[in-house]
Structure 1
Amino acid sequence: MEQQQLIRKLENSLHKGFIDQNKPISGQFKPKLLSNKHHETVLSTLLQELKTCNTFIFSVAFITEGGLTTLKTMLYDLKQKGIKGRILTSTFLNFNQPKMFKELLKLNNVEVRLTNEKGFHSKGYIFDHQDYYSLIVGSSNLTDHALKANYEWNVFLTSLEDGEIINHFKNQFEDAWSEAVPLSEEWIANYKQYYEIKPFIKHSDLNTLELNAKYLTNTLADSLSIKPNKMQTAALEQLKSLRATGAQKGLIISATGTGKTYLSAFDVRNFSPKKMLFIVHREQILKKAMHDYRQILGGHEDDYGILSGNSKDFHAKYLFATIQTISRKGYLQQFAKEQFDYILIDEVHKAGADSYLKVINYFTPKFLLGMTATPERTDKFNIYELFDYNIAYEIRLQAALEEDMLCPFHYFGVLDYEKDGEIIDDATELRKLVSSERVKHIIEKINYYGYSGDRVRGLMFCSSKEEVCELSATLNNKGLRTIGLTGDNSQEEREEAIRKLDSGEFEYILTVDIFNEGIDIPYLNQIVMLRQTQSSIIFIQQLGRGLRKHPSKEYVTIIDFIGNYKNNYLIPIALSGDQTMNKDNVRRKTVNTDYIQGVSTINFEEIAKKKIFDAINKTNLSTLKTLRDAYTEVKNRLGRIPTLYDFIEQNSIDPEVIISYSDNHYNFLVRMKEPLPSLTDYELAVLSMFSKEFLNGKRIHEVLLIDLLLAYESISKGTFIQRLKNVGTYVDDATIRSVENMFSLKFHTQSDMKKYKFKPMIEIINGIYKFNEEIRESLRNSFFKENIKDIVKCAYVKNKKYDKTQALTLFEKYSRRDVCRLLNWPHDDSSTIYGYRAKHNTCPIFVTYHKKDEVETSQAYGDEFLSPELFRWFTRNRLALDSNEVKNILSYKESGMKIHLFTKKDDGEGTDFYYLGPVDIAENSPKNETMPDGKGNNLKVVTMNLILEQPVQYDIYHYLVEE
C-alpha cells in the first residue's frame, strides 16, 4: 500500500476511533474494543493479525496449554512461510505449568524467554506488518478462556513505525527481553522441581477447579445431593408436559456426554414406577447405568438387578437388561406384558433391529422412553414413528458446548502424509499406510498438537482391521505403547485394554468399526482420525468419545489426518451441523469456524483446508440419493410430507438446493414418489417462477407483493409502497418498475419467458395489482395456494440475512442475473456482462480470482488484491485510456455512476460471486499496460486500483486470495 494512502487511511481511522464515530470513512485501522462479545473474539483478531504479519512479539504473564493450542495450527502455517516470532512470559504466581513450557519448546519458529521482572503481569501482542504495526493490549492472557470465552477488555490499535505508542511498547518489550532467560529443557527441569514443592494448589486455569468441583458433584453423589443441570431440568419439564397430553412414548435426542443416564434416572424418580426396565446393548454400560441410578433413586441394594449373560436378577424393582438376553424367547416370556410401568431404551437408534422390536412389541408399559445422540438412520427404519413422533427434548453438539455440558475440544485438520506429490487417499495400499515415513509423520503431528493432562490417553480410528494391527505394531516399534482392537476382540479384551489405557500401560488404543458409540472412556484426551470421513454421523460419534468431562483434562485434542478423500466435504458439515448441502454454506463453515461455542476451536492447516475446498468443488452435494436421504429423515421426523419450510425449520437441506434440482417443490415430491393432487402445466410454471426467482429472499419486494395478493384479491400501488416502507426496506420508482418487470416478464429472456408461458403473472391496471385471471382461479385450489404460501414463508426467512435498506448486502453472494435484477436493469443482460458492463448508470465488475490453467492467455488477467481494501483490476484487452468504454468508467463521479465489485475464488464455486461493495478508483492509478496473448504478441489493457468502501471481511479475503 502506498505510504501516503496508508497515512491518510490511518488518520481517518483514528478520527473515527477517537473523535467522531459517525465520520463516513473506511474503518480498516480504527481502534476497537475486543471483549469476546458479538462474534468478534480476541482469538479471531489474533489469528487475523498473525496471518498477515511479517513477525510478531507477545508479552504475556500467563499461558495455558489450551491457549497455546488454539494458535498451533496458525504457528505451523507461519513456520511453513518462514515467519518467526518471540514470546516473553514469566513464572509469576507459579501459574504457568512445566508441561506448558514443554509445549512452547515445540514451536520451532518462536523464540521464548522468561523474564525476571518482579510482578510481571503484562498482556500485549504486537504484529509487524509490511507497512504498519498492530497491537492488542488489555486484559487477555494467552489462555483459551481469555482468548475466546471470558468477558475481556482489550484495545486493538494500529500504528506506523514512527508512532510514539508502538515505540513505547516495543522499547519496553526489548528492555525486558534483553534481560530475560532463554527457555530450555534444563530451565524447565529446574522449574519443575521448584513448581512441585510449592505449598499452594497449582492449576493452569481457574476453570480446572470448577471442572473438578462439577466432577466431584457427579461422581461422589453417595454423600452429596445430585441435582439436574439446566438441560436436564428443561427436558424433565418437557417429559412431564408430554405425559400430561396422554402420550405413552417419548424420545430424547441428546449429544454424547450430556448426561442422558442421569436425566432418565431423574425422570424415573418423578414417575415413581412400581417396576422399571432399562435396556442397553452392552453389559458394561448396564453396570455404570445401575450405579448412576442408585445415586439418584436411592433405596435398598436388592432393588437393583441385572439381566444379562452373566446375571439373572428377574425380580428386581429396577432391572437393567441387555437386549441380547431379554429378547430371547425363554427370558422374555417370564415377564408379564404389563410387568414394567416404565421402560427405557438406551442408544435407541438401534431399535429397528428385530431383537428390539420383539421386546417393544411384547411389553405394554405406561411410558416408554428412548434415548439417543444420533436418531438419523441409514437403514430406512423410522425411529420417530416408533415413538409416535414425540420428541420430548433435543440438544445437539453446538448447544451442549454452549451450555458448558461437554469437555471443550480443539480440532486440528492436518494434511496426511505426502510423498512425491501423492497424498494418502481411499486407494492407498496398506504398505503405504504403515510405512515408516507415514508413521513418522503421524507421530510428529500427535506430538506437536499434544493433549491436556499428565499423560496421553488416546484413541486412534483406522481405516481397516489390517491397518489397526500393522500400525499398532509399527508404533510400538517406534517407542509408543499401543494396542489394536477390532470387532474380532471379545468384550473382556476390550475392557482390559481400556483399563490399561487408564493405568498408563497403554498410551493409545487403535480401532476400526468399534468404539464409535456405546463406550464410556471419559479420561480420553486425544482422538486421532486416520481414516476418511464416511458420514457426518460417524464423525460426530467418534469425536464424541472424548467429550465427557473428567478432572484429568481441560480439553480433548482431535487430530484429523486429511488426505485426498472425495468425502472431505463432510468434515465441515459434521463439525458445524449444517445439513443444508449448500456449497457456499459448507465453504464458509470451513473458512470461518467461529460458530463453535465456548472455548472449543476448529483449526485447519492451510494445505488440508485446500483439500476440503477441492472436495467441495468436485462433489455434487445435491444428488438424488443425498436429497432423498434428507427428505426421508425430515419426513420420518414429522410423520408427514414435509414442506419447503419444514426443511429450514428442521435444519435440513436448503430449499434452494431442492429448487435448483427440480425447479419447484411439486416436481421434487414427484421424484420422491409421493402421491399428489394434480396441477396444470401453468400452475407448475407459476410455482417454478416464484421458487426460482424469489425463494432466495435476495429482495423482499416481490415476496411482499405475492403475500399481499394471497391475502387480498387486489392491492393498490400506493398500499404496496406503504407496506414496503412499513417493513423498513428501500423504495424508489426504479425498484418498483423492476418489481413490475419481473411479474410482467419484461425483465426475462425469451428462454425464461417460454418456461413461464409468456403470460404476465400480475396485471397492473390503473395502479391496481392483481394476479392474472388464471392464477386467481388456481388459488381456489388449496393445494396450489399452500405451495405458494410455502415459497413466501421460506423467502421471508431467507431475506433475514440481507440488508433491507439497500439493494445489495456486503459479502453475500449474487449471480450476474441477480445483480441485473437488484440494480434495477430493465432486462436480464447477464449473458452479455462477462467481466463487467457499464449500463443504466451502474457498472458491476465480476472477477474470478483464480483462473483455470486452461484459460487462454489473452483472458488470464492479473486481477489481484493489493490489500483487503485495494484491488488491482484489468479492463478487457484491446482497450486504452482514451477508449470510450474506459473513459465512461473513469468519469463515474461526474456521471453519478456506481461501480460495484464482485468476486469468487474459482469456477468451482458456480455462478455466484461475493459482493465486496461499491468502489472508487484510486487517483492516478489508471494506466495503459500490456498483457501477452500467448502468441508472442502483447495486447493493450488498462489497469486501475479500486478502493473498497469497506475492507473485505477477514475470512473471505484469505479464502479468496490463497492458492
Structure 2
Amino acid sequence: MDISQPAFQAAVLNGLVDHNSYHGNRVVGPQIITNKPAGTIWATLRQQLLTCNDFTWAVAFITPDMLPPLKLVLADLARKKITGTLITGQYLGFNSPRVFQELRKIPNLDVRITTTDGFHTKAYMFDHGNYHTLLVGSANFTRRAVLQNNEWLLQVTTNEQGALGQQVRTELLTLKEQSQPLDEQWLKAYEQTWQPPVRTAGNPSAAPTAKIVPNAMQKAALHELAQLRQAGGQRGLVVSATGTGKTYLGALAVKQEQPQRFLYVVHREQIAKKSRASFQRVIGGPATDFGLLTGNHHDRQAKYLFATVQTLSQDQELQKWAADEFDYILIDEAHRAAAPSYQRLFQHFTPQFWLGMTATPDRPDAQDVYALFDYHLVYEIRLQAALEAGMLTPFHYIGVTDYVQAGVTITDTTALATLIAPERVDYILQQLDYYGYSGDRPCGLVFCSRQEEAHQLAAEFSQRGYPAQALTNQDSAGQRAQAVAALEEGKLNYIITVDLFNEGIDIPALNQIIMLRNTQSSIVFLQQLGRGLRKYPGQEFVTVIDFIGNYQNNYLIPMALTRDTSRDRTVLRQKTTLPPVMGLTTINFSQVAAQEIFASLAKVKLDAMRELRQAFKELENKLGRSPLLQDFFQWGSVDPTVFIRTSAISNYNQFLVKMGVGQPLAPLADSILTFVTQELTNGKRVHELVLLDLLLKQGTCTAEAYTQALSDHKAYVSPAVLRSVMGVLSLDFFAVKAGKQTKKARYGNQALVEQQDLLGYQLTVPLQDLLRQDDNFAHLLQDAVTTGLLLAQRYDQGEQFTRYQRYDRRDVCRLLNWPLDVSAPLYGYRVSAGVCPIFITYHKPVTDAEKQASRAARYDNSLQDGQNLRWYTRTPRHLNSPEVQELLQGVDQGQPQVTIHLFVKRDDQAGKEFYYLGPATIAPTTVAEELIGPQKKAAVGMDLHLQYPLPPQMMNLLFNEE
C-alpha cells in the first residue's frame, strides 16, 4: 500500500504538533504500542510482518515461548518469497542455545549475531515499499513482553527521504555488517560456554508446604456457594476447566461449610487418594480424620471419607450407612452422576448439601447432570477465562494445512494409503519439528481418524527416530497406563490415538498436542485440547498443531477456540483472520489453513434450525425450564441475535412452537412480537426499548421520566430522535411498500405507543387489551425488550452509530431519524436532509463474466491508505447533476453541508450488514467526472477522507487481498 505525501504530513502534524487541527493516519502516524485489552504488541508486529516487503529486527532478548506463532507468520511470508533479518546477541547469556537452535529452522530468516558489547536494543523495522515503519522501545521478543507486560514501543513511519528513516536504516546496516551469521560452528561454541543466567528466587508462597489460599475465581465460586446455602439450596454444580484447581476448590468449599461428616465420591481409587491429600493440606487436622473407602481400604470412621463409587454403591455397603450419615457430599466428575451406580447414592443418602464438580457438563451422554443438582449452576470456570487468569499452561495453537497431494488437500474420505504415505508422514514430522515444543524432548499426543492409521503412523514415527505407540479402545486400561508412563519417562515421544483421551486422563508432561482428524464437535475438540494444559514443572507452553484439511466442519475450530456464540460468518472470519489472545495463549492460522476455514464457512448455514434446536435443548437441560431469549445472552451456546436474524422464524414464540413447548399467538400479537424482535431487539438503538420497558412495567410514562431513563442508559436525546421513536413505535416509519404490501401492514398496522398532549406516553388500547388477555404474549414481549436492552450494551448509545459495529440499510434509515424506511431503494447511497450514508461492498467479483453480470463491479472503490477511499456515484451522473451538486455543496470552501457516514463490508458473503467506519469528508481536489464500467457510463469519482483513520485490524479485515 502506498502512502501519499499529504498523508505523511498530516500524520506528523497530528502526532507531534496538534491533534485537534490535523487528522493523523493510523497507519503512518506516530503512536505508542502497548499490551492493552484492545490489542497487543504481538498483534501489531504480526500485522506489520504480513504487509511488509522486508524486515529487520534488532532485539537483545528472545525466548523460545514466542517462536511458534512467529514461525507460522514467517512460513506464510516464505510462500511470498519475503525474507527478513534478525540481529541479536549473547548479552548476559539471556538467549539460550535452544533459542538459536529454533531460529535456525526458519529458512527465510537471516539471523545475525552481533559482537557489540552491551547490546540491549529493541528495534523492529518493516519495509513497506515507499515507506518504512519503525518500532523502538522496551519490548524484547519474549512472550510476556509482547503479550502481557507493561511495555511501550514507539511506532514511527518515515518515507524514503525521511532523515529518521535513513538514520535508522544506516544504524541497522552498520549493526548487520558488524555481526556474524548464526551458523553451526558459532552455535556449538556458544553451547559449550553458555551458562544460564541466575534467576531470582521464586515466590515462597508457591512452595508445596505453603498455605492454600483461593485465587480470584475460586473466591467468586465460594461466594456463590455461600449465597446458595444461605438461600436454602440443597444441591449445586460447579463447572471448572481441567487443571484450574477443581479439587482445591472443593476442599476450600468444605472448609468454608465445616460439615460434621463429609463424603467425597469419585470413580477411581487413584483420584480418591490424590484428593484426600489435597483436602488434608487445605483443611488441616490429624491424618486419621481423612480416610479411604475403596476395594483395598475401609476407613469408615474417618470424618472426611474419600470413596470410589464402585465400592460405595454396592448394596451390602450402602446398608452399613444411615441416610443422614453425611451432611455434605461432593460428587467429583459429576457428569457421570446419571449412571446407575451414582443414582443409588442419590436415592440412599439425604445430606444437607450435594456439591457436584465437573469440567465437562455438556457431554451429549450427560444431559441430566444439571437436573441432578436442581439446576443450580453455581459457577463456571471455562477454558478461556482460566487461561486469561493464568490458571493453566498457556498454549500456542498453530493451524496449518494438511498434506496436499496432486493439488488436493487431505479430507476425511482420503484413502488410508495416502494418510500413511511416506510423503505425508515426512510432512507431519517436518511441521512438528519446525514449530517445536517446550522442553528437551517431544512429549506429544496425536489424535487421528482411524485405528489403522494410528497403528501405521506409530510404526512410521518410530522408524524415523520418534518412538511412538498407538492406543485405541481395543487396548486395556493397564496398557494405556503403561504407555502414558513410558511417554512421561521419555521412552516414547508420541502416543497416537483415536478419540481415546477425550476425558478422564490428563498428561501434564505433554508439550505437543497434534490434531490429524476432522473436528466433528467443539466439545470433543476442547476436551482433547485440555489433555495437556495442567501446569507442570518446567513446562513453559504447549504447542498445539492442527492439520486442517478440506473438511466441512472446519468452521468449528475458531468457534471452539474463541467460544464464539454469534454463529455469524463475518464474526468467525474476523476471529480467524484476527484471532484473540487469551492471557499468554495465542491462536494462529496459516493463510492457507484460513482459506480452508473460509471455504467451509461459505457452505454451512450456521443458524439452521437443527443448530438452534440443539442449543435450546442444551440450555433447557442447564436451566431446568424452557429458556427465554434473554437466557441465551448469559448462558447459551448461541447469541440471541441468531434467533433474531434466522429466516426460519420471525419471533421467538414461533421457535417455541416448533420446539413443541409454545402455543401460537393471536395474529396481531404475533405481528407485534415480530415487529419488536426484528426491528428493536438487536439493541442498535436503545431509545424505543427504554420507552417500551417503562410502559410495560408501569403503564404510563411522562416525557420527563422517559428523558431521564434515556440519560440513565447514557443515550443521546434530541427532538429528532424523540420524533423518530414515535414514528417507529406507531409503525408510520414502515408505511412504505415492500412487495405487495407495506411493512406496516406486515407488522399488523397497529401502533404500540401513543403520546398524550405532548406530556406523556402510554401503550395503545389494543396492545393493552392483548397484554391483559394473554399472559404468555406479555411475558414474551417483555423478554424481547429485556433482551434488546442487554444487547444494547454493545453499542455506544451516546452516538447515532458505533464505529466498527455492523448495520444494515434499514438500521441506518432508523438511526438517522428519517421519517420513512427507504432502505429498499437506497442501494449504494442517498442524500437527504443534509446527510448521506454510503454503503460500499469492497471486494467485487473478479472474472469478466462476473463483472458483466454484477452492477456493483462497475465501481472501482479502492483504499489508498488507512484513511482515504476512492468512491463513485451511481451512473449516469455528472458534475452538474442535482444529486452531485447537493453532495458537493460547501466542499470547496471547507464547509461541507452534507454529513457523510461511511459503511463498508468486505464482500457479499458478509450478508446485509456493513461495518460503520465513521464520518467522512470529500477531498475537493479529487472530484472528477469519469467514464466507468463496461458500458463507459458517466459517474463522479471522489476521495472520501475518514475522520478517524482505520486501525490496522479493520484494514486487514475489510481491505486486504487474500
Flag whether TM exceeds 0.5 (same fold): yes
For residue 368 of structure 2, what is the aligned residue in structure 1?
382
Question: Quick one: structure 1 residues 490 and 834, their matched pair in 2 at CA, closer, same or farther if it must change by over 3 Å?
Answer: same
For residue 14 of structure 2, what is the aligned residue in structure 1?
16
For residue 159 of structure 1, what is the aligned residue in structure 2?
158
For residue 871 of structure 1, what is the aligned residue in structure 2?
869
- How far the C-alpha of 1:890 sits from its partner, in A, is 4.5
2:663 aligned with 1:670: no
Alignment of 1:157-306 (within 5 A): 157-195=156-194, 198=195, 201=197, 210=202, 217=207, 220-221=208-209, 224-271=210-257, 276-296=262-282
TM-score by length of 1: 0.91
Take 1:723 and 1:267, find their aligned partners in 2: how far apart are those partners? 41
2:616 aligned with 1:631: yes
For residue 760 of structure 1, what is the aligned residue in structure 2?
751
Take 2:840 and 2:346, find their aligned partners in 1: how far apart are those partners? 60
**8 Å contact from structure 2 (residues 93, 197) kept in 1:** no
2:472 aligned with 1:486: yes
**8 Å contact from structure 1 (residues 282, 518) kept in 2:** no
Deviations 1:698-757 (A, max 9, x none): 112222232343355445657655654665434444433332322232321334222212
SS of the residue corresponding to residue 499 of structure 2 reads coil
For residue 902 of structure 1, what is the aligned residue in structure 2?
903
Take 2:298 and 2:694, find their aligned partners in 1: how far apart are those partners? 68
- How far the C-alpha of 1:532 sits from its partner, in A, is 1.8
One-letter amino acid of the counterpart of residue 763, structure 1: E
Take 2:224 and 2:493, find their aligned partners in 1: how far apart are those partners? 42
Take 1:434 and 1:312, find their aligned partners in 2: how far apart are those partners? 51
Take 2:125 and 2:335, find their aligned partners in 1: how far apart are those partners? 52
SS of the residue corresponding to residue 461 of structure 1 reads strand
1:857 is aligned, of 852, 858, 864, to 852
For residue 957 of structure 2, what is the aligned residue in structure 1?
959
One-letter amino acid of the counterpart of residue 786, structure 2: K
2:771 aligned with 1:779: yes
Deviations 1:272-302 (A, max 9, x none): 5565443333444344334434544566667
- How far the C-alpha of 1:105 sits from its partner, in A, is 0.9
**8 Å contact from structure 2 (residues 619, 636) kept in 1:** no
Deviations 1:365-390 (A, max 9, x none): 34322111121232472312211223
**8 Å contact from structure 1 (residues 262, 292) kept in 2:** yes
User: 91-100 vs 905-914, which deviates more?
Assistant: 905-914
Take 1:45 and 1:899, find their aligned partners in 2: how far apart are those partners? 30
SS of the residue corresponding to residue 70 of structure 1 reads helix
SS of the residue corresponding to residue 397 of structure 2 reads strand
One-letter amino acid of the counterpart of residue 7, structure 1: Q
2:831 aligned with 1:801: no
Take 2:675 and 2:165, find their aligned partners in 1: how far apart are those partners? 58
Question: Quick one: structure 1 residues 240 and 762, their matched pair in 2 at CA, closer, same or farther if it must change by over 3 Å?
Answer: closer
Question: Quick one: structure 1 residues 625 and 322, their matched pair in 2 at CA, closer, same or farther if it must change by over 3 Å?
Answer: farther
SS of the residue corresponding to residue 644 of structure 1 reads coil
2:815 aligned with 1:822: yes
Count of residue correspondences:
943
- How far the C-alpha of 1:623 sits from its partner, in A, is 2.2
Question: Quick one: structure 1 residues 772 and 54, their matched pair in 2 at CA, closer, same or farther if it must change by over 3 Å?
Answer: same
Alignment of 1:384-533 (within 5 A): 384-533=370-519
One-letter amino acid of the counterpart of residue 918, structure 1: P
- How far the C-alpha of 1:584 sits from its partner, in A, is 3.9
Question: Quick one: structure 1 residues 295 and 423, their matched pair in 2 at CA, closer, same or farther if it must change by over 3 Å?
Answer: same
Deviations 1:56-114 (A, max 9, x none): 11111100011223322222212222221111111111111111111111121111111
Take 1:530 and 1:310, find their aligned partners in 2: how far apart are those partners? 41
For residue 579 of structure 1, what is the aligned residue in structure 2?
565
Cα RMSD, aligned residues only:
2.9
Take 1:556 and 1:51, find their aligned partners in 2: how far apart are those partners? 25
One-letter amino acid of the counterpart of residue 907, structure 2: D
For residue 48 of structure 2, what is the aligned residue in structure 1?
49
TM-score by length of 2: 0.92
**8 Å contact from structure 1 (residues 285, 519) kept in 2:** no
One-letter amino acid of the counterpart of residue 857, structure 1: Q
User: 826-835 vs 108-117, which deviates more?
Assistant: 826-835
**8 Å contact from structure 1 (residues 26, 949) kept in 2:** no
- How far the C-alpha of 1:690 sits from its partner, in A, is 1.1
SS of the residue corresponding to residue 171 of structure 1 reads helix
**8 Å contact from structure 1 (residues 67, 142) kept in 2:** yes
SS of the residue corresponding to residue 699 of structure 1 reads coil
Take 1:95 and 1:726, find their aligned partners in 2: how far apart are those partners? 54
SS of the residue corresponding to residue 687 of structure 1 reads helix
Question: Quick one: structure 1 residues 230 and 886, their matched pair in 2 at CA, closer, same or farther if it must change by over 3 Å?
Answer: closer
User: 235-244 vs 553-562, which deviates more?
Assistant: 235-244
User: 358-367 vs 95-104, which deviates more?
Assistant: 358-367
**8 Å contact from structure 1 (residues 858, 931) kept in 2:** no
Deviations 1:2-51 (A, max 9, x none): 76xx3333333233323334335234233222231242321122122222
Take 2:681 and 2:302, find their aligned partners in 1: how far apart are those partners? 58
For residue 788 of structure 1, what is the aligned residue in structure 2?
781
User: 660-669 vs 56-65, which deviates more?
Assistant: 660-669
Take 1:652 and 1:110, find their aligned partners in 2: how far apart are those partners? 43
**8 Å contact from structure 2 (residues 12, 24) kept in 1:** no
**8 Å contact from structure 1 (residues 278, 343) kept in 2:** yes
One-letter amino acid of the counterpart of residue 913, structure 1: F
- How far the C-alpha of 1:942 sits from its partner, in A, is 4.8
**8 Å contact from structure 1 (residues 269, 297) kept in 2:** yes
Question: Quick one: structure 1 residues 283 and 201, their matched pair in 2 at CA, closer, same or farther if it must change by over 3 Å?
Answer: farther
**8 Å contact from structure 1 (residues 414, 604) kept in 2:** yes
Take 1:276 and 1:557, find their aligned partners in 2: how far apart are those partners? 40
- How far the C-alpha of 1:578 sits from its partner, in A, is 2.6
For residue 914 of structure 2, what is the aligned residue in structure 1?
913
- How far the C-alpha of 1:840 sits from its partner, in A, is 4.0
**8 Å contact from structure 2 (residues 677, 784) kept in 1:** yes
**8 Å contact from structure 2 (residues 930, 939) kept in 1:** yes
- How far the C-alpha of 1:124 sits from its partner, in A, is 1.1
2:632 aligned with 1:647: yes
**8 Å contact from structure 2 (residues 92, 197) kept in 1:** no
Question: Quick one: structure 1 residues 820 and 392, their matched pair in 2 at CA, closer, same or farther if it must change by over 3 Å?
Answer: closer
Question: Quick one: structure 1 residues 461 and 322, their matched pair in 2 at CA, closer, same or farther if it must change by over 3 Å?
Answer: farther
For residue 949 of structure 1, what is the aligned residue in structure 2?
947
User: 532-541 vs 355-364, which deviates more?
Assistant: 355-364
**8 Å contact from structure 2 (residues 834, 898) kept in 1:** yes
Take 2:325 and 2:724, find their aligned partners in 1: how far apart are those partners? 70
For residue 62 of structure 2, what is the aligned residue in structure 1?
63
**Structure 2 gap segments, 5+ residues each:** none
One-letter amino acid of the counterpart of residue 618, structure 2: E
